Amino acid sequence: MPGFKTLDDLAVRSKRVLVRADLNVPMKDGKVTDLTRIDRLAPTLTELAAKGARVVVLSHFGRPKGGPDAANSLKPLLGPLAKAVGRPVAFAGDCIGPQAESAVAALKDGEIALLENLRFHKGEEANDPSFADALARLGDLYVDDAFSAAHRAHASIDALAKRLPAAAGRLMQAELEALSKALDHPARPVVAIVGGAKVSTKLDLLGNLVGKVDVLAIGGGMANTFLVAQGIAIGRSLAERDMAETANDILAKARAKKCRIVLPIDAMTAPMLTEGMVPWTVPIEAVPPDQMILDLGPKSAAALARLLAECRTLVWNGPLGAFETKPFDAATVTVARAAAELTRAGKLTSVGGGGDTVAALAAAGVEDQFSYVSTAGGAFLEWLEGKTLPGVAALMQG
């Protein structure tokens, strides 16, 4: 991955530093229900403040209709943000114009202000140059710490980064370094585990990975589509039968790229997806007509765990079964814990992220035991697909 500037490259004392954050956190009844994104942003803000910067936090929240909307205000995040950074945080009722200018002008060295939702202005999502100009007038330097929004060519992500000296914050830096280590310059062999329900939503991802990794292990509902493509009966299991030809094309591309594809050899099945259902474990060629495949079987999970021990790098996207409903979390938990053990032993670089992956790893109790777990969602997926992310490209310009 090309170089990019970090906080180490900026002289920030007495400078107004615009920090693009992603504070689009889950809320219920006006309270934040998951502090992960706030906690991950805090190190960048506290470091800048400690160095004497005048820190100005920019973020979107929700999907307002291009105008002020109390339900999508960032004001309720003031308390959690101040607690995370260990100091007061000022607030401005707009992100441009007189209110924003006044709040920024009032900042002293080491102080932090949060500006109102960027998406209250249509110019944000339109990547409007005049809106970016208005944001740029508030700062001397720009720091992007929102990898999770890096796939959006929005004004505060793309245009603003081209108007001020720009650098990656600590979260963005960690994300880019972890992703580069996993696929751009990995220790080999590299294995990718891809799960989830549908092949159709991950065509670009699968197509890119077979050219990047040594082994591609497919689980979840999408594995069923590959089994159908190979003429294996899967009973009443979820599958995209109209994608069978596409699945065979991916298998052919993998063979051409010398990428080994790993599919289930046994399965946990049941007539319906219900908590506490006693499953049948059957060879993959013997799924009963009235049953559904709801998880990899124990032999498949054990084989994957052994495979990880032969590899040096793991990229994981998507659960291996219907992990939200016990006991169909068994394979995901088994493989996740094997990956965590190898990571702790220094034998495996493990990177996971996207969709339900974070929840699945957390349910297995290993979210903090991987080398890196990305909460970026769409940006993480687009990176796995090999796409150029506007927010990353903007940081590479200098």
The tens-digit pLDDT sequence of the chain (398 residues) is: 558 999 999 999 999 999 999 999 999 988 999 899 999 999 999 999 999 999 999 999 999 987 899 999 999 999 999 999 999 999 999 999 999 999 999 999 999 999 999 999 999 999 999 999 999 999 999 999 999 999 999 999 999 999 999 999 999 999 999 999 898 889 999 999 999 888 898 999 999 999 999 999 999 999 999 999 999 999 999 999 999 999 999 999 999 999 999 999 999 999 999 988 899 999 999 999 999 999 999 999 999 999 999 999 999 999 999 999 999 999 999 999 999 999 999 999 999 997 689 999 999 999 999 999 998 888 999 999 999 999 999 998 75
Q: What are phi and psi of 154, to 5 degrees?
A: -100, 165
Write the DSSP symbol of residue 6: B
Q: What are phi and psi of 155, to 5 degrees?
A: -60, -45
Active site residue 355: yes
The Cα diameter of the chain in Å comes to 71
How does strand 16-20 pair with strand 54-58? parallel
How does strand 112-115 pair with strand 89-92? parallel
| Triad 344, 348, 353: Cα angle to 5° | 90
Quick one: pLDDT at residue 398?
55
Are 55 and 80 in contact by the 8 Å Cβ rule? The answer is no
Residue 205 to residue 199: CA distance in whole angstroms: 10
Structure tokens at 209: 């990975």
Structure tokens at 96: 């441009």
Handedness of CA 210, 212, 217, 219 (dihedral sign): negative
Residue 146 to residue 169: CA distance in whole angstroms: 8
Write the DSSP symbol of residue 162: G
Quick one: pLDDT at residue 375?
85
CA-to-CA dists, residue 159 to 6, 184, 391, angstroms: 19, 26, 9
Quick one: pLDDT at residue 276?
82
Residue 264 to residue 116: CA distance in whole angstroms: 49
Write the DSSP symbol of residue 235: T
pTM over 0.75: yes
Nearest to 292 by CA among 322, 263, 272: 272
Are 186 and 312 in contact by the 8 Å Cβ rule? The answer is yes
Tell me the fold of 7-172. Answer: Rossmann fold (3.40.50)
The backbone region for 6, taken as left when phi is positive above 0, alpha when psi lies in -120 to 50, beta otherwise, is beta
Active site residue 37: yes
3-state secondary structure of 90: strand
Determine the distance from the C-alpha atom of residue 87 to the mean position of all C-alpha atoms in its chain, rounded to a whole number: 28
Quick one: pLDDT at residue 277?
86
- Which of 37, 40, 54, 152 is an active site residue? 37
* Residue 333 burial by Cβ neighbours in a 10 Å radius (0-12, 13-18, 19+): buried
Quick one: pLDDT at residue 354?
79
- Which of 52, 207, 378, 386 is an active site residue? 378
Q: Where in the chain is the domain with CATH 3.40.50.1260?
A: 7-172, 186-384
- Which of 219, 221, 321, 355 is an active site residue? 355
Active site residue 386: no
Where does the chain show beta strands of DSSP type E?
16-20, 27-28, 31-32, 54-58, 89-92, 112-115, 141-144, 166-168, 190-194, 215-218, 260-262, 266-270, 280-283, 292-296, 313-317, 349-353, 372-374
Quick one: pLDDT at residue 30?
87
Quick one: pLDDT at residue 313?
98
Task: Write the CB contacts of 108 (distance below 8 Å, at least 6 apart in sequence).
Answer: 54
Q: What are phi and psi of 151, to 5 degrees?
A: -85, 5
Q: What are phi and psi of 333, to 5 degrees?
A: -65, -45
Q: Can you list the alpha helix ranges (DSSP code H) found in 106-147?
A: 122-125, 129-136
- Which of 163, 198, 257, 387 is an active site residue? 198
Active site residue 195: no
Where does 189-288 show beta strands of DSSP type E?
190-194, 215-218, 260-262, 266-270, 280-283
Q: Of how many residues is the chain composed? A: 398
Residue 34 to residue 49: CA distance in whole angstroms: 24
Q: What share of the chain is helix, strand, coil (3-state, %, to 5)?
A: 45, 15, 40
The CATH class for the domain spanning 186-384 reads alpha beta
Residue 154 to residue 333: CA distance in whole angstroms: 38
